[in-house]
């Protein structure tokens, strides 16, 4: 199979063309399995952002996309989905080389879901309606929905193409123009997306990608007066900076940020299913999931049985090369993350939690001294105030805490600054639904975990951010409402 560098140049995608960084600089993208550079990408700066925003602005102002007949725009988005499917193997390979996620997760789960997201929003293009209102006197009121304009998008490294699709697909459906800045560590699938958009018929300048660092490219994009909206997914710390910077030009902002999501197991749960759900909740994608169920709260009556089950599941979570068959967890995405996760593990040990499984690097065993491999790790008896129960680790590290009553569970569940997601496990649906309603989280899974659908909105409460991706709610994020008064007298 062709590699990323055979297909994609080390360039931005601006105005419908590949365009090297104005500075001529490139930087390497590192394969977390070998710690070696697997491909080069353009190292952008503010002047590249300027060029991309100009291209986006021009395409928006000419109306070439937003005024295109909706049925035609819809067909183009559908074609994009088909092209993503047709190029699935190559895109998935690039995604795995950038992130360390398994070939199965990239190729069988995530890239196909990206295509479905484009199909879902292709369906919306012809259904974006306004309304007509009765007004006093002889007047008619029209409530119209219009695209916001130029949307700057900034995405993280854990689900590079999927999270870009969460933003790009609804924004394009609503007729916006885009400048996307993917994470500098995982840019290739976003470049793929831009290439396929152009092939599908998205006009030049409508969808631009500028690659490079957070401060070099992200900050100028957030500050740019030619950008109307910023849609950001990433850490709560950077999200805070983005909101501050965007306030100078009063841009619209949506923020999808971090989480420390609780998975709550009641003593009447189907325990086998709950153990499986808790394991996928934390070990899918090496725990590098914003909604990872990184805390499991277990009712005392089934606590020991749950621990025995999760210990076994952790032991069966094979860590290996992400392209190798049978691997359940590849390496974590980058060197900083590797160091940080191992530090959290040491902190867990030092703060007195009981280490039940894992708890160490597997670099030597799996990668012959190279690669960011970490064992599936479970701590039991974790104090809800402990660092590993409060901080987002963003790695394969689970903190299990017992509880006695529903009130205890709710109090512990709410005892972090985040509110992204939660899970509830109980066979008493009345209890499960009541508890789901009481939880302050943007998504609550009942008797399942970590499922996503293009139609289900996703986003956070509290410091997990605001605004929603996916679903019909995302259409609100990429449209402005305009009221038109018509005097008929």
Query: Is 482 in a helix, a strand, or coil?
Result: strand
- Angle formed by the axes of helices 88-99 and 70-86, nearest 10°: 70
Q: 219 with 245: CB under 8 angstroms?
A: yes
Q: What is the 3-state secondary structure (H, E, C) of 192-205?
A: HHHHHHHHHCCCCC
Query: In which region does residue 388 sit, left (phi positive, over 0), alpha (psi from -120 to 50) or beta (all else)?
Result: alpha
Which one, 215 or 482, has the nearer CB to ligand NAD? 215
Minimum Å gap between C-beta 74 and ligand NAD is 26
- Determine the Cα–Cα distance for residues 477 and 467; give it in Å rounded to an integer: 7
Minimum Å gap between C-beta 377 and ligand NAD is 18
Sign of CA dihedral 147, 149, 150, 153: negative
Minimum Å gap between C-beta 467 and ligand NAD is 10
Query: Is 339 in a helix, a strand, or coil?
Result: helix
Burial class (CB in 10 A: 0-12, 13-18, 19+), 237: exposed
Which residues are near ligand NAD by CB under 6 A?
A: 154-158, 163, 181, 183-184, 213-215, 218-219, 222, 233-235, 238, 241-242, 256-259, 290, 392, 394, 420, 460, 464-465
Minimum Å gap between C-beta 463 and ligand NAD is 11
* Cα dihedral: 436, 437, 440, 442 (round 10): 70
Which one, 87 or 102, has the nearer CB to ligand NAD? 102
What tokens were used for 358?
């894992």
Q: 302 with 416: CB under 8 angstroms?
A: no
Which one, 13 or 266, has the nearer CB to ligand NAD? 13
Give start and end residues of each alpha helix (H) in 100-184: 103-104, 111-125, 160-173
Which one, 244 or 482, has the nearer CB to ligand NAD? 244
- Determine the Cα–Cα distance for residues 143 and 94; give it in Å rounded to an integer: 44
Which one, 222 or 345, has the nearer CB to ligand NAD? 222
Minimum Å gap between C-beta 185 and ligand NAD is 7
* Cα dihedral: 415, 417, 421, 424 (round 10): 0
Minimum Å gap between C-beta 381 and ligand NAD is 25
Which one, 31 or 256, has the nearer CB to ligand NAD? 256
- Residues taking part in catalysis: 256, 290
């Amino acid at each position: 199979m062709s590699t990323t560098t055979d297909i994609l140049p080390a360039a931005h995608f601006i105005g419908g063309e590949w365009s090297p960084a104005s500075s001529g600089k490139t930087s390497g993208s590192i394969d977390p399995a070998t710690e070696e550079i697997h491909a080069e990408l353009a190292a952008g700066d503010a002047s590249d952002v300027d060029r991309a925003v100009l291209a986006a602005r021009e395409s928006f102002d000419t109306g070439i996309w937003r005024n295109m007949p909706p049925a035609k725009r819809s067909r183009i988005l559908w074609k994009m989905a088909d092209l993503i499917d047709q190029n699935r193997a190559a895109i998935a390979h690039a995604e795995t080389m950038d992130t360390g996620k398994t070939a199965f997760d990239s190729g069988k789960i995530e890239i196909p879901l990206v295509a479905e997201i484009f199909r879902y929003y292709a369906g919306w293009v012809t259904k974006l309606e306004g309304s007509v209102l009765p007004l006093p006197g002889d007047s008619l009121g029209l409530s119209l929905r219009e695209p916001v304009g130029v949307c700057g998008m900034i995405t993280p490294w854990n689900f590079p193409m999927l999270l870009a699709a969460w933003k790009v697909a609804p924004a394009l459906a609503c007729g916006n123009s885009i400048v996307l800045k993917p994470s500098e560590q995982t840019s290739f699938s976003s470049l793929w997306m831009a290439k396929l958009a152009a092939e599908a018929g998205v006009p030049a300048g409508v969808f631009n990608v500028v690659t490079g660092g957070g401060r070099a490219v992200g900050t100028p994009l957030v500050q740019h007066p030619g950008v109307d909206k910023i849609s950001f997914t990433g850490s709560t710390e950077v999200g805070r900076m983005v909101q501050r910077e965007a306030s100078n030009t009063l841009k619209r902002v949506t923020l999808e940020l971090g989480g420390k999501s609780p998975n709550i197991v009641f003593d009447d749960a189907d325990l086998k299913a709950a153990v499986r759900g808790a394991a996928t909740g934390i070990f899918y994608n090496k725990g590098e999931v914003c909604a990872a169920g990184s805390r499991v709260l277990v009712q005392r009556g089934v606590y020991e049985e749950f621990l025995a089950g999760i210990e076994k599941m952790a032991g069966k979570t094979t860590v290996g090369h992400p392209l190798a068959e049978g691997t359940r967890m590849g390496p974590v995405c980058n060197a900083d993350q590797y160091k940080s996760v191992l530090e959290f593990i040491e902190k867990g040990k030092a703060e007195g939690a009981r280490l039940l499984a894992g708890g160490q690097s597997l670099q030597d065993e799996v990668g012959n001294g190279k690669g960011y491999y970490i064992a599936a790790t479970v701590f039991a008896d974790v104090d809800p105030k402990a660092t590993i129960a409060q901080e987002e680790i963003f790695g394969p590290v689970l903190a299990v805490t017992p509880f006695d009553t529903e009130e205890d569970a709710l109090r512990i569940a709410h005892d972090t600054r985040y509110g992204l997601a939660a899970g509830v496990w109980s066979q008493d649906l009345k209890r499960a639904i009541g508890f789901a309603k009481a939880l302050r989280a943007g998504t609550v899974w009942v008797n399942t975990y970590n499922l996503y659908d293009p139609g289900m909105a996703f986003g956070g409460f509290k410091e997990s951010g605001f605004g929603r991706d996916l679903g019909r709610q995302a259409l609100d994020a990429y449209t402005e409402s305009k009221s038109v008064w018509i005097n008929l007298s």
